[in-house]
């Protein structure tokens, strides 16, 4: 750790000499765009889920203010509406492109990689132009970005120049001529715009995605983000079709997205079908395990009930009401064992869902699960989690479940 920090300081200082960090002049000249370009930009913005980080809860779209917790402190999604004072209203297209590709804002400040420019840097010029056209035609919302809460030395922005030297790979997404056009299209979307690796690839101590562990699983807002490759731990196999269903709405084999993945699916529901099919083709190629499509959930119910009698009773009295009806209750799958969360290395996702429940956006069809934070004690939720783990997973017992519940209660309650 100490060595890394030292290295970064040195590199950062060095980088200052290479200062490409000049302010780019204000430019409001181009604010009228071809409607098709704006429309395409809108689809791309949905494929990049811009709104999910750049919109506060109950806030105006793209006006920023959403807190993003990282190991280095809390940052806030910025205002990317074309408001000249608080948003990106003074950005020329060149300034916008530098922000997306180099992680340097118009004023010349380095940006933290929580903004995934390590992915956006690989966007094509055409897509950047479309995104620019889309964002610059949004309603300008005056909304001051809240100050980030970062600890030293992470609050020293120039160090980021060094970070970039270490980690920012600006090469375009390569084409694999042996693969289909759809697969290549998916690869481009996944690796550049949709930045799946930002959550699904583990990061090192300096917050960089570890390239050698691409899609091995990661973190998103204190949820576990599962692997998108052969390390996927659930016995329920994926196919391109099931992945497409899941990404678009809901899949009968795997259920639906919850937590930070829910807004991703909500956004993908609005984009052209072929883009989602392309993503499913690319990710599906590594995620699907050929020959395993018939594999069923492996139940160890008697052993689990014996090991965790309290959990078994709670499950029967509460969870089973909806989750053991053979999938008859809408948005439930036949067995809770089909949910990936039960095979995670830690119980956070299960705890999140039990504590917070699930609710769809107002007026839309989608899973409704009540929050059990007020009904169940930490010990009871721990019993349920332990029982589910023992019943379905061979991954070994989860440790410190109760402490995790207490921690998540603290961090998620208002």
Partner 1 sequence: MITLNVNGRSRDVDDAPNTPLLYVLRGTLELNGAKFGCGLGQCGACTVVIDGKPVFSCLTPISILQGRKITTLEGLGSEDAPSPLQRAFIEEQAAQCGYCIPGMIMRAHALLTANQSPTDAEIREHMNANLCRCGTHMRILAAINRAAGGMHAAGARAPAKAEEEE
Partner 2 sequence: MNAPLFNPSRRDVLAGALVVSFSLRAIPSLAQEQENVSKPPLPGSLKKAPMLDAWIRIDADGSVTVFTGKCEIGQGVKTALIQVAAEELELDPHAIHLVTADTARAANEGFTSGSNSMKDSASAIRNAAAQVREILIGIAAERLGVAADRLRAQSGAIIGPDNRRAAYGDLVAGNVLHVTAQPTSKLKAPDTLKIIGQSLPRIDIPGKVTGGVSYVHDLRLPGMVHARVVRPPSYDARLQSIDTSDAEKMPGVIKVVRDGSFLGILAEREFQAVTAMHALAAAAKWDIATKLPDETNISSIIESLPAEDHVIADKHAESASATRTLQAVYRRPYQMHASIGPSCAVASFDGDALTVWSHAQGMFPLRQAIAEMLRLPEEKVRCIHMEGAGCYGHNGADDAAADAALLASALPGRPVRVQWMREQEHQWEPYGPAMVSRTRASLDAGGNIVDWWYEVRSNTHSTRPPGAGQLIAARHLETPFTPGPPRPGDQPEGAGDRNAVPLYVLSNVRVVHHFVPDMPLRVSALRGLGAYHNIFAIESFMDELAAAAGADAIEFRLRHLKDKRARAVITAAAERFGWSSWQAAKGKGRGFAFACYKNLAAFCAVAVEVNIEHESGHVRLGRAIAAVDSGQAVNPDGIANQIQGGIVQSASWTLYESVHFEPRRILSQDWSTYPILRFGTVPESVDVYVIDAPGEPFLGTGEAAQGPTAAAIANAVANATGVRIRDLPLNSARVKAAIGV
Contact footprint for partner 1 (CB under 8 A) = 313-314, 316-318, 321-322, 329, 357, 368-370, 374-376, 380
H/E stretch holding 246 reads: helix 240-248
Per partner kind, with CB cut-offs from 5 to 8 A, the member of partner 2, partner 1, none near residue 375 is partner 1
Choose the binding region for partner 2 from 88-96, 106-114, 299-307, 359-367 (rule: CB under 8 A).
359-367
CB 191 within 8 Å of CB 209: no
Please state, in angstroms and as integers, the Cα–Cα distance from residue 335 to each residue in 56, 246, 327, 331, 355, following that order.
35, 17, 7, 12, 20
Task: Give the span between the Cα atoms of 339 and 122, in whole angstroms.
Answer: 33
Structure tokens at 192: 């550049």
Contacting partner 2 (CB under 8 A), which of 270, 293, 303, 399?
A: 270
Minimum CB separation from partner 1 for residue 224, in Å? 25
| 68 DSSP β-pair partners | 75
Task: Give the span between the Cα atoms of 62 and 138, in whole angstroms.
Answer: 9
Structure tokens at 131: 């995104």
Contacting partner 2 (CB under 8 A), which of 7, 19, 22, 139?
A: 139
Pick 140 or 199: Cβ nearer partner 2 = 140
Task: Give the span between the Cα atoms of 371 and 368, in whole angstroms.
Answer: 10
370 near partner 2, judged by CB under 8 A = no
Minimum CB separation from partner 2 for residue 143, in Å? 14
- CA 129-134-135 angle, 5° bins: 100
Structure tokens at 292: 């395993």
Q: Provide the terminal-to-terminal Cα distance of the chain, rounded to the nearest Å.
A: 33
Per partner kind, with CB cut-offs from 5 to 8 A, the member of partner 1, partner 2, none near residue 113 is none
Pick 321 or 399: Cβ nearer partner 1 = 321
Per partner kind, with CB cut-offs from 5 to 8 A, the member of partner 1, partner 2, none near residue 94 is none
38 near partner 2, judged by CB under 8 A = yes
Pick 206 or 266: Cβ nearer partner 2 = 266
Q: How many residues bind partner 2 (CB under 8 A)?
A: 29
44 near partner 2, judged by CB under 8 A = no
The residue among 245, 265, 264 whose CA lies nearest residue 254 is 245
326 near partner 2, judged by CB under 8 A = yes
Pick 15 or 267: Cβ nearer partner 2 = 267
Per partner kind, with CB cut-offs from 5 to 8 A, the member of partner 2, partner 1, none near residue 62 is partner 2
Contacting partner 2 (CB under 8 A), which of 71, 272, 361, 395?
A: 361
Per partner kind, with CB cut-offs from 5 to 8 A, the member of partner 2, partner 1, none near residue 270 is partner 2
Pick 159 or 271: Cβ nearer partner 2 = 271
Q: Helix, strand, coil shares of the chain as percentages rounded to 5?
A: 45, 5, 50
- The secondary structure of 92-108, three-state, reads CHHHHHHHHHHCECCCC
């Amino acid at each position: 750790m100490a060595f890394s920090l030292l290295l970064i300081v040195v590199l950062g200082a060095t980088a200052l000499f290479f200062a490409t960090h000049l302010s780019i002049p204000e430019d409001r000249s181009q604010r009228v765009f071809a409607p098709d370009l704006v429309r395409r930009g809108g689809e791309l913005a949905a494929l990049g889920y811009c709104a999910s980080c750049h919109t506060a809860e109950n806030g105006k779209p793209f006006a920023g203010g959403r807190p993003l917790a990282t190991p280095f402190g809390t940052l806030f999604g910025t205002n990317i509406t074309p408001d000249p004072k608080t948003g990106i209203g003074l950005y020329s297209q060149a300034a916008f492109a530098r922000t997306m590709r180099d992680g340097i804002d118009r004023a010349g400040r380095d940006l933290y990689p929580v903004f995934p420019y390590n992915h956006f840097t690989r966007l094509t010029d055409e897509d950047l132009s479309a995104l620019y056209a889309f964002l610059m035609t949004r309603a300008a919302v005056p909304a001051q970005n809240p100050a980030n809460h970062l600890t030293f030395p992470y609050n020293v922005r120039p160090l980021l120049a060094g970070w970039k030297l270490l980690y920012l790979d600006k090469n375009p997404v390569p084409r694999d001529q042996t693969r289909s056009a759809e697969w290549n299209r998916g690869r481009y979307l996944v690796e550049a715009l949709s930045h799946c690796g930002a959550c699904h690839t583990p990061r090192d101590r300096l917050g960089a995605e570890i390239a050698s562990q691409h899609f091995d699983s990661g973190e998103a807002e204190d949820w576990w983000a599962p692997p998108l490759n052969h390390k996927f731990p659930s016995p329920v196999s994926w196919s391109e079709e099931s992945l497409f269903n899941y990404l678009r709405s809901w899949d009968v084999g795997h259920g639906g997205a919850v937590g930070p993945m829910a807004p991703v699916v909500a956004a993908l529901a609005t984009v052209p079908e072929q883009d989602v099919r392309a993503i499913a083709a690319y990710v599906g190629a590594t995620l699907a395990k050929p020959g395993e499509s018939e594999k069923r959930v492996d139940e160890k119910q008697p052993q689990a009930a014996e090991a965790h009698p309290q959990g078994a009773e709670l499950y029967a009295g509460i969870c089973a009401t909806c989750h053991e009806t053979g999938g008859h209750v809408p948005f439930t799958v036949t067995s809770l064992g089909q949910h990936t969360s039960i095979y995670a290395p830690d119980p956070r996702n299960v705890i999140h869902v039990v504590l917070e429940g699930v609710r769809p956006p107002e007026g839309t069809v989608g899973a409704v699960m009540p929050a059990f934070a007020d009904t169940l004690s930490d010990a009871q939720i721990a019993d349920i989690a332990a029982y589910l783990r023992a019943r379905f997973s061979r991954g070994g017992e989860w440790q410190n479940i109760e402490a995790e519940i207490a921690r998540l209660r603290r961090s998620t309650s208002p």
